[in-house]
Amino acid sequence: MVIKNGKKQMSHFSNLNQDNKELKIYRPFGPSIAHCKLPKELIDDFNNDCEHIMDHKEKKKTHDFSDDLVGNVKQELLISPKVFTKWAPYFQKLMTAYVSSHTENVDELQRIKFRSAWYVRTFNGDFNPAHYHTNCHMSCVGYLSLPEGIEKEWEQENKDHYPSAGNIEMQYGQVQLFSINTVRMRPKVGDYYIFPWWMYHMVYPFRTKGERRSFSFNVYGEPKELPQDKPKIII
């Protein structure tokens, strides 16, 4: 499904890394995963913010979010409120489109609330074990930079039966005949994915020296006050 100009259009595709600027909805094994390409200005703003935090000792200390997350990674930093606020309306539109692909009652949402936005800095050997996000309805990940030369590692991996270096893997259900229970996505700068909070996901380690930088945040859909005889939205 493609969300374009607020309208739903059906689309069929098999590659989760297609280059496009529209929000596409994938259902590889039931639950939906949305994908789009982020604007360059957003990528630059987030990268500059992350660099600014790292260059200031006090900010790096106050923005350190590593102890609150499960990743076995070098560093996780809170995104500066000023930068995130600038792009919040953009993300709100994407999240609303994602919700609208699941329910016709999207107008019953009072607002989309953002919770816990952070950068993830991973280096060779780092990994993120299988986990899910709590206290939210939706989660997401966007890619800001990749290690220089990782394409060579990927080329070598393509000869293997299970290429995975630096990939994010979504997991759902059990292995069944004629079905899949995992989907791996090889990151590209500008790729952005939305998925349900309860979906297990993990990040594989890579060998190439350099930084793989991404960001994530959690989202909560707050319903409007509804009549008692009308059930509230469950996303």
pLDDT by residue (tens digit) across 31-74?
A: 899 999 999 999 999 999 999 999 998 888 888 887 766 678 88
Residue indicated by tokens 């600027």: 21
The set of residues, in sequence order, having a beta carbon less than 8 Å from that of 124 and lying 6+ positions away, is: 147, 205, 206, 207, 208, 209, 210
CATH topology for the 34-218 domain? Jelly Rolls (2.60.120)
Domains in the chain: boundaries: 34-218
Measured between alpha carbons, how far is 68 from 76 in angstroms, rounded to an integer?
9
Measured between alpha carbons, how far is 111 from 89 in angstroms, rounded to an integer?
11
Q: What are the tens digits of pLDDT across the range 155-171? A: 988 887 788 999 999 99
> What pLDDT does 224 receive?
64
pTM: 0.83
SS3 103: coil
Q: What are the tens digits of pLDDT across the range 126-144? A: 999 999 999 899 999 999 9
Measured between alpha carbons, how far is 38 from 194 in angstroms, rounded to an integer?
12
Measured between alpha carbons, how far is 71 from 13 in angstroms, rounded to an integer?
31
